[in-house]
Amino acid sequence: MPIDALASSVPAADPAAPLRRRVVEWADPPATAQAGQARAGLDVLRALIAGDVPPPPLIALLGIDLVSAEVGWVTMRMGSDEHLYNPLGSVHGGAIASLLDSAMGCAVHSTLPLGRGYTTLEIKVNYLRAVTAASGVLTAVGHVIHASRRQAVAEARLSDAAGRLCATASTTCLLFDLPEARAAAPAA
């Protein structure tokens, strides 16, 4: 079923209220991934900030902005708009977790040289207060706590526009050689 047909079939809580619409556009995911694999982690994050590399589709879907990136530290922002709401009228915990996971993962990514990648092994989120549209722009700051050759541990804090702490998170990421880097490496 096309999205427009799905949206028009959703009943409004108030039949007199018009349905809202949000349009999302994204770039070709393989092209974004290829651009990301052709640079060291911090370089790709800075290219994303500069607009030289388009953001991954999920980042566009959730409306996340990568604000700053330094070695081991990343700041991201996301609106707390109603399109992210759960049935109880607050921002869905999964959207908040995605923002925190992105900030921590990108903090880890910022430490990696060309040819290295990562993936999240686990994530833990502590939700401290409800987030609604009244919370304003959310800011997630992620930083690396520990990194070795095979794994990294990172944390993040999420604050609302008033600076109130809304959630914290921690993650463990697996670090690995990217397949292209392994194939191109000389035999030992």
Tell me the one-letter amino acid at 168. T
Give, for 6, the enclosing helix (H) or strand (E).
helix 3-9
pLDDT in tens, the chain (188 residues): 444 444 445 555 677 888 888 888 888 899 888 888 999 999 999 999 999 999 999 999 999 999 999 999 999 999 999 999 999 999 999 999 999 999 999 999 999 999 999 999 999 999 999 999 999 999 999 999 999 999 999 999 999 999 999 999 999 999 999 986 444 545 54
CA distances in angstroms from 160 to 24, 35, 66, 117, listed in the order given? 24, 32, 16, 31
Q: pTM for the whole thing? A: 0.86
Sheet holding 64-70, edge to edge: 64-70, 73-78, 138-147, 151-159, 165-177, 116-127
**Cα pseudo-dihedral 126, 159, 73, 176, rounded to 10:** 30
